[in-house]
Amino acid sequence: MNILITGAGRGLGLELAAECLERGHHVLAGLRRPEQPSPELRALADQHGERLEPVRLDVADEAGIAELAARLSGQGRQLGAIVNNAAVLEARQTPIERLDLAFMESTMDINLYGPMRVAKHLLPLLTEPGAALINISSEAGSLTNAYPGDYPYTLSKAALNLLTEQLSRVLAERGAIALSVHPGWMRTDMGGEQARLDPRESARGIADLIERRVEAPPGFRFVDYLGRPMAI
């Protein structure tokens, strides 16, 4: 399977790239600066050779994404999975009275418009049999469990969950699935050192969902990394 992952240079994106490579897939690793790969990504390239294909992908840059899509399309390439993983967590724990709304704009630009830009230009290539669109979401985007904080992040993830529902209906027509996946609280730059979960463990679960070894139950397309339903 050809698997494209945004934000593949560190955190969950990097671990998912490593997991998918170990399972024999071809990984298009979306990076803002492919000319400056992290040491971890370089090590993966040494280990897996051409099956790791770094591609320039800044989710805020629609022209760049369109260019990537045109290049892949010109090469007759197909994708089996797109993982919208890149995200930011800004203005953390800021009360609404002190919230600078510029953070709403910058967070929406990455966490919601980013996956929208990727879908707009790359979904036409998601044509391998059994294909999957995975939007990495968060329990923070649950309406049921809403908490008063992290406004830009939580609102962006709630909106992303709706986008997933919408796109799942489009993709169903071609036998592909779309899922919003809560990856768990992970030890990454975003999750911090106190987090319980190794991001590789989350990556294993997400790879199982991509390969459809684990099927998400019917209902809303919001699940955790083990495919268990999340409260919308």
Number of residues that make up the chain: 232
Cα 126 from Cα 104, distance rounded (Å): 30
Phi/psi of residue 14, each to 5°? -65, -45
> Does 190 engage in binding with ligand NAP (CB under 6 A)?
yes
Choose the binding region for ligand NAP from 20-28, 55-63, 68-76, 121-129 (rule: CB under 6 A): 55-63
**At which residue do the structure tokens 């071809």 appear?**
26
Beta bridge pairs of residue 179: 134
Nearer to ligand NAP, 32 or 200 (CB): 32
Q: What are the φ and ψ backbone dihedral angles of 154, each rounded to 5 degrees?
A: -65, -40
Options 75-83, 100-108, 123-131, 187-195: segment touching ligand NAP (CB under 6 A): 187-195
Q: Which residue carries 């709304």 as its tokens?
A: 101
* Site for ligand NAP contains 136 (CB under 6 A): yes
Local structure of residue 79 (DSSP, 8 states): -
Q: Which of 19, 58, 90, 150 is close enough to bind ligand NAP by CB under 6 A?
A: 58
Size of the site for ligand NAP (CB under 6 A): 26
Instruction: By CB under 6 A, name the binding residues for ligand NAP.
Output: 6-7, 9-13, 32, 58-60, 85-88, 110, 136, 138, 183, 185-186, 188-191, 195
